[in-house]
Amino acid sequence: MDIDKVIKKYVPMTETAFYILLSLTEPRHGYGIVKHVEDITNGRIALGSGTVYGTLTKMQKDGIITVFADEERKTVYEVTETGRKLITAEINRLKELYQNALKYEGDFL
């Protein structure tokens, strides 16, 4: 799938999809993704295995991540170039959202 179609399909991302993809700054196992998301959200988000593996399967199908087995024959997930472009587009969208929230929040106080 080309990057424009991927961005149109995924942006804006759900919070869980965002954190799952953000966890793939390095290749990780499914459980490693769950623990990483829990760590970087200070326990606010506790992903269920169904959510993680369902999202990873969808992302693999759309070429956002690749899957391979490590030396222990465990399934490892890694972001692709398309996935990197997608997370960059979403981060830029969130930056704009944040900057506008700061700019206009005083109008509501």
Q: What is the pLDDT of residue 70?
A: 83
Q: What is the pLDDT of residue 31?
A: 95
Q: What is the pLDDT of residue 28?
A: 96
Number of Cβ atoms within 10 Å of the Cβ of 13: 19
Q: What is the pLDDT of residue 54?
A: 97
Tell me, what amino acid is at 40?
I
User: In this structure, what are the phi and psi dihedrals at residue 100, rounded to the nearest 5 degrees?
Assistant: -70, -35
Q: Confirm if 21 and 79 have CB atoms less than 8 A apart.
A: yes
Q: How confident is the prediction along the chain (109 residues), in pLDDT tens digits per residue?
A: 799 999 999 999 999 999 999 999 999 999 999 999 999 999 999 999 999 999 999 999 999 999 999 888 899 999 999 999 999 999 999 999 999 999 999 999 8
Name which of 75, 72, 94, 92 is nearest 84 in CA terms: 92
Q: What is the pLDDT of residue 109?
A: 86
Name which of 74, 85, 61, 91 is nearest 28 in CA terms: 74
